[in-house]
Amino acid sequence: MLLDVREPWEFELASIEGSEFIPMSQLERRFTELDPDAETVVICHHGNCSSYVAVALQRAGFENVLNLEGGLDAYSSVDESVPRY
């Protein structure tokens, strides 16, 4: 699962197709929407906030969590369908 934790205005600008969107500010109350057994890749703009969220998910019992290093900004350099902002 691709978990995008950016702000709504950022998600509107650019996103990876098929990603789930839960803003970081809403994550604590929406944990139950996530599958703790699923491989989860956390995405933000540059990789800093998603790193924090990945650690928080691991502490909450999620075992297979990854952070997209460099975030959507880095990803956009390898996938032209995702605009850079």
Please count the other Cβ atoms lying within 10 Å of the Cβ belonging to residue 80.
Answer: 8
| Active-site residue list | 44
Whole-number Å distance between alpha carbons of 71 and 41: 10
pTM: 0.94
Task: Find tokens 């959507």 and name the residue.
Answer: 72
Q: For residue range 16-75, what is the model confidence (pLDDT) as tens digits?
A: 999 999 999 999 999 899 999 999 999 999 999 999 999 999 999 999 999 999 999 999
Q: How far, in Å, CA of 62 to CA of 28, rounded?
A: 14
List the domains of the chain with CATH numbers: 2-75 (3.40.250.10)
